[in-house]
Amino acid sequence: MVTSKDIRLADYLDESCVLCNLETASRDEILARMVAALKRHVGNFEQESVLKAVIEREVQSHTVLASGLALPHARIASISQPMMAVAISPKGIDFEAPGEDPVNVIVLILTPKFDPGSYLRLMTSLSKLLNNKPVIKRLCVATSAREVYGIITESAEFVTVKLNVASVMDRHPVILDESNTLSDAIHAFCAYRVMDIPIVDSEGDLRGVIAIEDLLRQSLPDHLLWMEDLSPIANFEPFAELLREDEETKIADFMHDKYVSIHPETPAIQLAKMFLMEKTRQIQVVEGRKFIGVVNLQSFNAQVFWA
């Protein structure tokens, strides 16, 4: 994984691949039109299989990154260099992302399968440009493909994009406050299907982490773990006792303050080493004590190997 590279968005986007003033349509219809535009411009891939790959990736994990912005993508074995298409819908497209509003700006990114860093570099560069409400508004009122193209590529200079922790982290993970209860933690684990939850205080400082295993550990005293035969308590009495007190038990009573952390400006490659050496599945991203986000092993692997 190359940690930095000079890139210029104009090298990956052609004006013919900009779709402007789109009416409301389904996510898949918009993606089909974007893939078709790239096919007409480049022509060196099988259109239906590429569309299927893009939709499959979107279904597995939505790519709505900010209000009004989505960056759908796929890695394609048959292409030799990254390429982009842009779609603008002033009224918004439902991207079927739970809890997210319709998106107005869609940038489709196709990257070669052999270059795992290219998507992350383009995503980082685009995020810096488009994670900005004034720019999104400019794009929504643009009247032509040329104008949209100009806004996205207005900087003709090469920009050095560094693949650091901030490039791959989840900025909006499930978190809990240290004043929350065990009942809140149980709901979060089950409703959001997460395995680790950072715990912050009212100032946004990271105080600790609670893992799914902590629920079991809180229920089973140490002496039970050494018993070979647990048949005398086969009816889950320890769990019942815990649940009777779940609304009074504070998370702060059993969260652990030993966690793996990293600074957001650290090169992303360091994460791979930490996941292996620390044998953890979640790394906390902090500046001092201030909680910034998390990197989960599963999502990190997806970005590196699948994107």
Residues 80-94: pLDDT tens digits?
A: 899 999 999 999 988
Asked whether residue 227 is domain-assigned, the answer is yes
Residues 138-175: pLDDT tens digits?
A: 999 998 999 999 999 886 555 566 788 988 888 889 99
Residues 62, 134, single domain; the answer is: yes
Residues 147, 240, single domain; the answer is: no
For residue 236, the enclosing domain spans: 176-306
Residues 12, 148, single domain; the answer is: yes
**Cα dihedral across residues 203, 209, 211, 215: positive or negative:** negative
User: Which residue, of 106, 134, 163, is where some domain finishes?
Assistant: 163
Q: Greater confidence, 219 or 206?
A: 206
Judged against a pLDDT cut of 90, whether residue 61 lies above it is answered with no
Residues 156, 254, single domain; the answer is: no
Here the CATH number for the domain that contains residue 233 is 3.10.580.10
Report pLDDT for 226. 65
Report pLDDT for 296. 95
Residues 242-253: pLDDT tens digits?
A: 777 788 888 888
Here the CATH number for the domain that contains residue 141 is 3.40.930.10
pLDDT above 70: percentage of residues in the chain: 89
Residues 227, 143, single domain; the answer is: no
Adjacency order of strands within the sheet including 196-200:
176-177, 196-200, 206-211
The whole-angstrom separation of Cα 141 and Cα 16 is 19
Neighbour tally for 272: CB within 10 Å: 14
Q: Helices 237-244 and 212-219 meet at what angle, rounded to 10? A: 110
Report pLDDT for 1. 52
Asked whether residue 168 is domain-assigned, the answer is no
Using pLDDT thresholds of 50, 70 and 90, give the confidence band for residue 187: very high
Domain tally for the chain? Answer: 2
Judged against a pLDDT cut of 60, whether residue 234 lies above it is answered with no
Structure tokens belonging to residue 93: 């497209």
Residues 75, 130, single domain; the answer is: yes
Asked whether residue 39 is domain-assigned, the answer is yes
Asked whether residue 170 is domain-assigned, the answer is no
Judged against a pLDDT cut of 70, whether residue 25 lies above it is answered with yes
Report pLDDT for 265. 92
Asked whether residue 171 is domain-assigned, the answer is no
Residues 113, 215, single domain; the answer is: no
User: Which residue, of 163, 184, 201, is where some domain finishes?
Assistant: 163
Residues 229, 289, single domain; the answer is: yes
User: Which residue, of 142, 163, 184, is where some domain finishes?
Assistant: 163
Report pLDDT for 96. 84
CA nearest neighbour of 35 among 109, 104, 101, 142:
109
Residues 55, 148, single domain; the answer is: yes
Listed in order, strand segments (DSSP E) in the chain are 4-7, 13-19, 64-66, 69-70, 73-76, 83-93, 103-112, 159-162, 176-177, 196-200, 206-211, 261-262, 282-287, 290-296
- The number of C-alpha atoms within 13 Å of 288 and in the hemisphere containing its C-beta is 4
pLDDT above 90: percentage of residues in the chain: 47
Using pLDDT thresholds of 50, 70 and 90, give the confidence band for residue 5: low
| Dihedral of the alpha carbons of 38, 67, 10, 305, in degrees to the nearest 10 | -70
Residues 215, 146, single domain; the answer is: no
Q: Greater confidence, 123 or 240?
A: 123
Residues 271, 153, single domain; the answer is: no
Asked whether residue 169 is domain-assigned, the answer is no
Residues 55, 144, single domain; the answer is: yes
Report pLDDT for 157. 58
Checking DSSP bridges between strand 290-296 and strand 282-287, what pairing results, if any? antiparallel
The whole-angstrom separation of Cα 239 and Cα 77 is 50
